[in-house]
Chain A
């Protein structure tokens, strides 16, 4: 079943209409399946963040349509329903935490939705447990690390009981440890609770566990497929300013040097195994 579907989606930022080539999105057709883990890649200005923001009606299409579980995002009466279903986590954790106690912040969304107090308490506890932040329930968010803050932000979205979580470059400001924490939390939610995950990033390595990779360039989808299909197209990726994961890059070099290795071993383990085979 489809979670999000865009049809010939176009978007132009207001105030730039009269200039040429300023359309951030130029006819995008993508369908995100329910329960899938999709990574959207692209360099700065490729339109990937703009695309993500149309998924829960933060931005409304200037052409074409976006449907969330069949609901048109242009329909203002469905706005809360759409935003409850598609939660969004942003880049800067400091700018999306509203309250000065962790539990109050996680409770923010269900409070807005008018959920009864007892049920809010349960949702807050469940959400913090799901991201592994239970022991910080009474903490002040500004004393937490970046990765912890971002997991609080994810918990804040989870408390809405969303069907889908969109992470708009949510790992860009984090150190490698924080990035790993956030990715682990998101992968777990996808696996265990069947929540659809759309991860916007420019870090290739974050795409290795995805079901599907969508590559954007200049407001258009240029590649769409399984990670190993996409990453073996090294030349095309480099042409649009993206580097392939380190593992694939290594395999390509080895191949050029005359070794017989496959190029679609994406994870470090697969890559190591593939190289090891050559020496046995």
Chain B
């Protein structure tokens, strides 16, 4: 049952969106978010929506998957929209009881909803089209300059990729421990929230103990394979920017510049 959990879902594919350098995609996502939060005019929003639609079409990620990603944040979107709707001062449109709806409020609510929806869809598109390893590689490479000010970029990237590597292993182990506890009469499914939380203790303790043992063994195995930090380290798959990366980056740079200029 736990095996269904996916983190940073990735839909393998062979489209332009998949083939782009992960660094390009990361940068472009940042550009897009900046553009979203500086956009003021309707034209700007129109262009941003259009850009996302084109990107989604290119990536061949189903609209269904994108909207599914929105589900958990639906409440937040609705809540911010309502707050904006009722608490923005300005020209009154109508009012009932203690609520006053203004033209500015309607506008703010719509833009807020648009912003959050586009933001989430844009970032989901990134994780849908980029495998976790390439994403980590891209992050490590982009943040590379920070090494100069002693930020442990390589170590962080390594930790991230090891964490990703061990998610399935630990989930499998959790399943096993749960089965073992259930066989001895443990009950994880019924009772109050407190009781269920308490029932998790005998699950978490062995899981943590085993995770530490694994970490120790993995560290030894890594040392045996000559791991000694990123000093003099090379890569099997080196990232290279291609023409398509420059084109995409160029487009988004122009987009951000235009949106800011149009304010």
Contact = CB atoms under 8 A, between A and B. Distances in A.
Interface of A: 56, 58, 80, 83-84, 87-88, 90, 92, 94-101, 103-104, 107-117, 120-121, 124, 140-142, 156-157, 160
B220 A90 contact: yes
A112 B220 contact: no
A160 B133 contact: no
B224 A87 contact: yes
A214 B121 CA distance: 63
B161 A111 contact: no
B236 interface: yes
Interface string B210-245: 000010011011111111100011111110000000
B218 A109 contact: no
The 9 tightest CB contacts between A and B, nearest first, are: A96-B221, A107-B236, A95-B217, A109-B225, A114-B232, A142-B168, A112-B226, A100-B165, A88-B224
12 contacts: A83-B224, A92-B214, A94-B214, A98-B218, A99-B165, A111-B235, A112-B225, A114-B232, A116-B234, A117-B238, A140-B168, A156-B225
A114 B169 contact: no
B133 A101 contact: yes
B164 interface: yes
A81 to B, nearest CB: 9
Interface residues of B, number: 28
A207 B168 CA distance: 35
Interface of B: 132-133, 161-162, 164-165, 168-169, 172, 214, 217-218, 220-228, 232-238
Contacts of A113: 226
Given A95-B214, A100-B161, A142-B169, A117 B236 contact: yes
Contacts of B234: 110-111, 114-117, 120
Nearest to B225: A109
A103 B220 contact: no
Contacts of A140: 168
Contacts of A99: 133, 161, 165
Contact of B222 (A56, A98, A100, A160): A98
A257 B227 CA distance: 58
Contacts of B162: 98
